[in-house]
A and B are shown apart, each in its own frame.
Chain A
């Protein structure tokens, strides 16, 4: 029988440092056949391992049209400390894809509102990249993204690239003003404030909101006021996971397993779940 806990060896193809403590890593299956056949849906996650150190859970943050996988992490624990040091050519492990995904098909024809804070950009980036690759299938795209400081913004260069697409608004903001003389073409405000000023409307639109709990808490009323229904507000939850397969027993919120029934939930789903996240 197959070993469901067995990762695949992956070659590190590229490492891009994003901030002082965040990196984005691009990997490919060492087995070319597996690499060619690998498929995932936007919003799914994987378990990435440094052999001898351990496994961690991250969203697959690239679009699914590529022949590689990208993920983003903050150097913050035992596994990520070691991931920080990997270089192109090194081997790491991957298991996945796991979990449900963003309903990109159902979103076709609608306006998309993406709201992210800090390290929560990667789980939204996959949806943004997919929507931009399929630009004609979606209506207006509004991206509201903020971080504590300019130096904490992830995918900083890409934000400006995305803004070049037709009918795409990228609203960047930072909590703390950069030191005088630092080039900054965004705002200095909290994400919910920028969202409020963005003139979005819930008519024929969906919102994907990922970020720190306080950002989500303050953004939700603004979306509701703009006419978004609970069924149209999506998020990607994270809870500590070990197996990703619905067995190890720690990522659940009540009877909902984030690894299997999530990580993508609507606000309507979340209202029916106990607050265990």
Chain B
């Protein structure tokens, strides 16, 4: 026995949430491009599974630009005003399973010793509903990093689109149950995700190679394909490196957290002029190490969900999957030698 929700009922559920003051985030279209954004009217939402989005749901947990506090200078003293804490209910609907999977991966980072309330309060207030994938493309590689087209990691509920426009609902957490309670009908129809994307590289083997090859010339070689723009980090659901900068004037302003990218020269440039990662190769190495060695060392999880957003958005057809494929070649060679 399954539970079915019609498209109309799903829309009504979201519309009711909007009326009750909740922040609802859903896929929307601008021309042909799909974006997750906060909606004010449920008819803005395009509620169907989709592979390509221009952004990740990450920004509704870890905004690209977020005020930490504001300040006003009063004579020689400075008054600091803390940023308000996020305290509205948030419903994120229509995420890809690989996008939602980033959330539990990022949890330990923001709770490591020091508790980052900005991420944590949004997490606590949010319910995440994913759509099981109906198609994959050449960029997808979730299967290589433990994901699947019907993965429920980070999801409170998963919806399987059915041919008649309705969805089979499978609740994962109490939050998911609360959202769909009384909204579904029992049925004998069940949904299914698409076949998992095929991959022909072994991420564990590559990670082992990375550990032993910090000084390999391969890093420079693969970086010739990278222009260092950092777009991959901005669309990545797991990239979380950030900058802290002041905005405003000397007398009045605010301090903000902004997304940053390890692919830019300035990221690690010392005031002295020394830069530990002075070449694009060193920066590509950092990116791949962070995802497949450092983060697993620190938090026992890969910092990659195999979503393919990086290579889909890359202006020069690079990204994590192409990099892994290149590294797989040398990892296999070194294993055979």
Residues of A within 8 A of B (CB): 1-7, 9, 30, 49-56, 74, 76-77, 80, 82, 89-91, 93, 213, 238-240, 242-243, 245-255, 260, 274-277
Given contacts A52-B250, A240-B270, A254-B294, contact A245 B113 (CB under 8 A): yes
CB distance A51 to B78 under 8 Å? yes
Number of B positions contacting A (CB below 8 A): 56
B101-124 with Cβ < 8 A to chain A: 109-110, 112-117, 120-121
**A4–B243 contact, CB under 8 A?**
no
Asked, given contacts A243-B244, A247-B110, A255-B298, whether A9 binds B76 with beta carbons under 8 Å apart, the answer is no
A51 touching B117 in the complex, CB below 8 Å, given contacts A238-B270, A254-B214: no
Q: Give the contact stretch, choosing among B28-36, B88-96, B127-135, B254-262.
A: B254-262
**Residues A90 and B76 in contact, CB atoms below 8 Å apart:** yes
CB-based nearest A residue for B294: A255
With known contacts A1-B115, A3-B82, A52-B251, A80–B277 Cβ distance under 8 A: no
Q: Would you list 5 pairs from A and B whose C-beta atoms are within 8 A, ordered by A residue?
A: A2-B117, A6-B82, A52-B248, A56-B271, A249-B241
Give 8 A-B pairs besides A51-B255, A242-B243, A249-B290 with Cβ atoms closer than 8 angstroms: A6-B68, A6-B69, A52-B249, A54-B245, A247-B112, A249-B240, A255-B294, A274-B214
Q: A247-B112, A249-B290 are in contact. Are A76 and B77 (CB under 8 A)?
A: no
A contact residues around B73 at 8 Å (CB): 51-52, 91
B195 adjacent to chain A (CB < 8 Å) = no
Contact (Cβ within 8 A) B277 A255? no
Q: Which of A77, A251, A274 has the most CB of B within 10 A?
A: A274
Query: B61 to chain A: closest CB distance in Å?
Result: 14
Q: Which 9 A-B pairs have the closest CB atoms?
A: A249-B241, A1-B117, A255-B297, A52-B250, A245-B114, A91-B78, A274-B214, A5-B68, A77-B271
* Bound CA–CA A277/B214 (angstroms): 13
Does any Cβ of A come within 8 Å of B196's Cβ?
Answer: no
**B77 near A91: Cβ-Cβ < 8 Å:** yes
Which residues B55-110 have CB closer than 8 A to chain A? Answer: 68-69, 71, 73, 76-78, 80, 82-83, 85, 109-110
Compute how far the CA of A76 lies from the CA of B181 in the bound complex, rounded to whole angstroms: 60
Interface pair A3/B71, CB less than 8 Å apart: no
Does B192 have its Cβ within 8 Å of any Cβ on chain A?
A: no
B165 touches A (CB below 8 Å): no
Separation of A245 and B113 alpha carbons in the complex (Å): 8
Given A30-B77, A248-B260, residue A3 in contact with residue B114 (CB < 8 A): no
The verdict on A52 contacting B253 (CB below 8 Å), with A3-B82, A9-B77, A254-B289 known, is: yes
Distance A7 CA – B81 CA, assembled complex (angstroms) = 11
Does the CB pair A54–B68 fall under 8 Å?
Answer: no
- Chain B residue with Cβ nearest A74: B271
B258 to chain A, nearest CB (A): 10
The answer, yes or no, to whether B276 is at the interface (CB within 8 Å) is yes
Q: Tell me if B272 counts as interface (CB < 8 A to partner A).
A: yes
B209 within 8 A of A: no
- With contacts A30-B77, A52-B246, A255-B297 taken as known, whether A239 is within 8 angstroms of B268 at the C-beta atoms is yes
Closest chain A residue, CB of each to CB of B282: A276
- Residue contact A5 to B246, C-beta cutoff 8 Å: no
**A246 and B242 contacting across the interface, CB-CB below 8 Å:** no
Interface membership of B269, Cβ < 8 A = yes
Type the 1/0 row for B124-157, where 1 means its CB is closer than 8 Å to any CB of A.
Answer: 0000000000000000000000000000000000
Q: Which residues of B contact A251 (CB under 8 A)?
A: 268
Q: What A residues does B289 contact at CB under 8 A? A: 254
Set of chain A residues within 8 Å of B110, measured between Cβ atoms: 247
Q: Which of B121, B243, B246 has the most CB of A within 10 A?
A: B246
Check if B267 is an interface residue, CB within 8 A of chain A.
Answer: yes
Q: What residue in chain B is nearest A238 (Cβ atoms)?
A: B270
Contact A1 B85 (CB under 8 A): yes
Would you call B246 and A53 a contact (CB within 8 A)?
yes
Decide: B241 and A9 in contact? CB cutoff 8 A: no
Q: How far is the CA of A247 from the CA of B114 in the complex (A)?
A: 9
Q: Bound state CA distance, A238 and B276, in angstroms?
A: 10
Complexed CA–CA distance, A143 and B260 (Å): 41
Interface centre among A1, A56, A275 (most CB of B within 10 A): A1
B34 CB to nearest chain A CB (Å): 28
Question: Nearest Cβ distance between residue B253 and chain A, in whole angstroms?
Answer: 5
* B117 near A4: Cβ-Cβ < 8 Å: yes
Task: Check B293 for interface membership: any CB of A closer than 8 A.
Answer: yes
Q: Which of B78, B83, B113, B245 has the most chain A CB atoms closer than 10 A to its own CB? A: B78
Instruction: Check B286 for interface membership: any CB of A closer than 8 A.
Output: yes
Q: How far is the CB of B102 from chain A (nearest CB, A)?
A: 15
Contact residues in A for B293 (Cβ distance below 8 Å): 254-255
User: Do B115 and A4 have beta carbons less than 8 Å apart?
Assistant: yes
A276 touching B69, Cβ below 8 Å = no
Contact B246 A54 (CB under 8 A): yes
What is the distance, in angstroms, from B125's C-beta to the closest C-beta of chain A?
12
B112 A249 Cβ-Cβ under 8 A = no
